[in-house]
Structure 1
Amino acid sequence: MNGSIHITEGALASLIGLTAHEIPGVVGMAPANLREGIQRVLGRAQVRDGVVIGRDGDRYTADLYVVVAYGVSIPTVAQNIVERVEHIVKTQAGTELAATRVHAVGVAHA
Structure 2
Amino acid sequence: MTEKNHVIDMEHQHTRLGKVEIAPEVIEVVTSIAAAEIEGVATMRGNFATGVAERLGRKSHGKGVKVDLEEDGISVDVYVVINYGVSIPDVAKQIQENIHQTLKTMTAIDLNAVNVHVVGIQLEQQEVIADTTQE
TM-score normalised over the length of structure 1: 0.84
Aligned match for 2:115, one of 69, 80, 101: 101
1:44-98 Cα offsets, whole Å, 9 max, x none, are x424120000023242110000001010011100000001100111111111111
Match of 1:87 in 2: 101
Bigger relative contact order (CA 8 A; separation at least 6): 1
Gaps of at least 5 residues in structure 2 are: 1-14, 125-135
Give distance in 2, aligned partners of 1:98 and 1:57.
11
CA-atom RMSD in angstroms: 2.0
Letter of the 1:23 partner, please give it. Answer: I
- Larger Rg belongs to: 2
- Residue 28 of structure 1 corresponds to 43
Q: Distance in 2 between matches of 1:90 and 1:65?
A: 20
Once residues 49 and 61 of structure 1 are traced to their aligned partners in structure 2, the CA distance between those partners, rounded to angstroms, is 16
Unaligned runs of 5+ in 1: none
What SS does structure 2 have at the residue aligned with 1:64? strand
TM-score by length of 2: 0.69
What per-residue deviation string (whole Å, max 9, x for no partner) do you get for residues 6-65 of structure 1?
11100100000000010010011002x46xxxx9xx8xx424120000023242110000
Runs of at least 4 residues off by over 2 Å: none
Say if 1:56 and 1:98, in contact at 8 Å, map to a contact too.
no
> Counterpart of 1:6 in structure 2: which amino acid?
E
